[in-house]
Structure 1
Amino acid sequence: MRTVNVVNHPNSKFNAFTLFQHNEQQSQRNLALLEQLQTTLEVKKLIDIFAIEVAKYLDFTGIYFKHTDVSATARGSRQAKAERQFELKLNGHFFGMLTYAVNMPISITNYEILNELHQLLINPLNNAVKYHQAMQLAMQDGLTQLGNRRSFDEQIKRTMAQAARRHSRVGLILCDLNKFKAINDSFGHIIGDNVLVHFAQALRQSVRDTDCIFRFGGDEFAIIIADASQQSLTVIEQRIYQAMAHDALLAKYNVTSSLGLAFMNKADNAISFFERADTALYSQKMNIPRKLSVVSQHSS
């Protein structure tokens, strides 16, 4: 559903020459906009480019795009007195919603211009959304729907860089299932896959919304904890064991897990950070007493 306020201005000057001049100028602007929209496959950048063009015709304080799989907000957007929503349709089917934050009604002339601009935006947006969807699939483990190793490699670097800027701490938990091969050999790969799915769900139940979970393949998993503390890692560790104990399928097949915990320190890069967590994981699997790599608040 589209909600707009339109205002007509009957006293505006009009003649055939100005109409032709306007159409010619508008066509050139539209072509320039289309060329700019074809320079990126990032939804956020498309909305930013589009907002610059819309600002030539409409006094707004924000533009917001919402699709089933992705949303974006134009740079500098803020609330206004009202919102005007436009449905975007592709080949007659609903594609997404574009919302303008405005303080004044939209004139009929500008309303028509917006509809024309939306037609230029829709195909680049569709391409960007499809690219986003493809990238999400490429970064996702097909069985558990968690992030995959490629996704982990990107996220760990990003989280470590943010922590260095904010002087915060990053925690890393590596997990694997004990004697998982025996489950596959004894009960078959269908049961083995179900075990992995249930273990992934136990991990989801154990972390905060801001934490990221990944499956590398096989029975190897990882959790990145931003703004971590010794207490938060310990709580997550305890929750994982509790969630596994309360899962009927994991309990039925006597599934247990080993966890390796580590904190990032100032000397770490992504590889050394991972290696320390991996060493902690190996130590627990070998029943060697494990020490959490604790650092002071200012060493991350």
Structure 2
Amino acid sequence: MAAPSNIDSDKLLQLASALQTSLDVETLIEIFSRHLAPMVHHQGLQYANEQMGIDLTIGETGPHRSSFRLDLEEEALGELGVFSAETLSASRKKIVETLVASLLYSLRNALMYREAISASARDPLTGINNRSSFRKVLDREVELSHRHGAPLSLIMLDVDRFKSINDKHGHVVGDLALKSIAKCMLSCIRDSDILFRYGGEEFCIALSNTSLAGARKLAERVRRALEILVVRTSGVRLHVTASFGVATLEEKEDAGNLVEKADHSLYRAKALGRNRIASHDDTREQP
């Protein structure tokens, strides 16, 4: 069946109106796919924005993929891929390009909103997740853990005697140390682990699908990495250590219970001499 040479203006208006109902990128691509389907049969769509780390697929992939650049006023918004059973004809590609023009402004607004939300959840100094996002993320992880019966662990750590760094070398050096510490921890954790700056020199790591033993193992990896870390600035060489509290979610516990257990374990690790790991279920002293 031949593709229509012209697109009904009412259909363009319906698409534009539908796209204005959401600021969620994935929802916009789903809306676009639904409105595209009657005019250009396709198996799925892929939207990728490398700069923002977005790569999502709606529907299914297919043997043929046609790519469309998404540019608005010289601003690159990413790329749209259309998966189809057969190679799209020139006329059908033209239809996609025409509909894409209706997508661009809504997509840019959604990307700006996504960026603003992401920025509000980030610690401006270290670039990792901040405390305001911690409870929201942890509540979600707790819900998933209970729903699927999967283990969830939490590591809380505090940089030992950090106040003395600020007192002796100043806050500029202290800030540099915190950035170096966060970078070091990011290099130790897995992609599935979520790192937060909880406040001051205190950090948290949420570990989904991780038992207490697994959490202790990762905490030890981070502890050793920090122990050999050297922060260099303005002729100053700083060595840091940290104390760790580890806890695992139990049945019927909520996020508050998990945080409380990890916090108590952290307090005990510092009381036992610092630069060590303590967990809620034992009295082992490390290192």
Output the TM-score relative to the length of structure 1.
Answer: 0.85
Contact 2:128–2:196 at 8 Å: present in 1 too? Answer: yes
**Superposition RMSD on alpha carbons, in Å?**
2.4
State how far apart, in whole Å, the 1-side matches of 2:55 and 2:33 are.
12
State how far apart, in whole Å, the 2-side matches of 1:144 and 1:65 are.
29
Contact 1:43–1:72 at 8 Å: present in 2 too? Answer: no
Equivalent residue number for residue 130 of structure 1: 112
State how far apart, in whole Å, the 2-side matches of 1:235 and 1:291 are.
12
What secondary structure does 2:279 align onto? coil
> Gaps (5+ residues) in structure 2?
283-287
Q: Which amino acid aligns with 1:264?
A: L
Equivalent residue number for residue 98 of structure 1: 80
Instruction: Kindly report which structure 2 residues correspond to 1:199-214, keeping only aligned pairs within 5 A, or say none.
Output: 199-214=181-196
Work out whether 1:280 is the aligned partner of 2:265: yes
Contact 1:78–1:101 at 8 Å: present in 2 too? Answer: yes
> Gaps (5+ residues) in structure 1?
1-7, 296-300
State how far apart, in whole Å, the 2-side matches of 1:70 and 1:240 are.
26
Equivalent residue number for residue 255 of structure 2: 270
State how far apart, in whole Å, the 1-side matches of 2:137 and 2:118 are.
13
Percent identical pairs in the alignment equals 28
CA apart distance, 1:206: 2.1
Q: Which amino acid aligns with 1:183?
A: I
Equivalent residue number for residue 4 of structure 1: none
Query: What is the aligned counterpart of 2:200 among 205, 218, 228?
Result: 218
Q: Tell which deviates more after alignment, 170-179 or 108-117.
A: 108-117
CA separation of 1:256/1:265 partners in 2, compared to 1, >3 Å: closer, same or farther?
same
Structure showing greater Rg? 1
Greater relative CO (CA pairs within 8 A, separation 6+) = 1
State how far apart, in whole Å, the 2-side matches of 1:92 and 1:152 are.
37
Equivalent residue number for residue 261 of structure 1: 246
State how far apart, in whole Å, the 1-side matches of 2:74 and 2:159 are.
49
Contact 1:87–1:98 at 8 Å: present in 2 too? Answer: yes
Deviations along 1:28-68, one digit per CA (max 9) or x if unpaired, are: 11111111101110000000000001111112111011112
Equivalent residue number for residue 193 of structure 1: 175
CA separation of 1:29/1:74 partners in 2, compared to 1, >3 Å: closer, same or farther?
farther
Query: Going by fraction, where is strand more abundant, 1 or 2?
Result: 2
State how far apart, in whole Å, the 2-side matches of 1:217 and 1:267 are.
27
Q: Which amino acid aligns with 1:271?
A: G
CA apart distance, 1:74: 4.6
Contact 2:155–2:204 at 8 Å: present in 1 too? Answer: yes
What secondary structure does 1:253 align onto? strand
Output the TM-score relative to the length of structure 2.
Answer: 0.89
State how far apart, in whole Å, the 2-side matches of 1:100 and 1:48 are.
12
State how far apart, in whole Å, the 2-side matches of 1:142 and 1:120 are.
35
CA apart distance, 1:234: 1.9
Q: Which runs of 4+ in 1 moved over 4 A?
A: 288-291
Contact 2:25–2:107 at 8 Å: present in 1 too? Answer: yes
State how far apart, in whole Å, the 2-side matches of 1:290 and 1:40 are.
46
CA apart distance, 1:267: 2.3
Contact 2:230–2:240 at 8 Å: present in 1 too? Answer: no
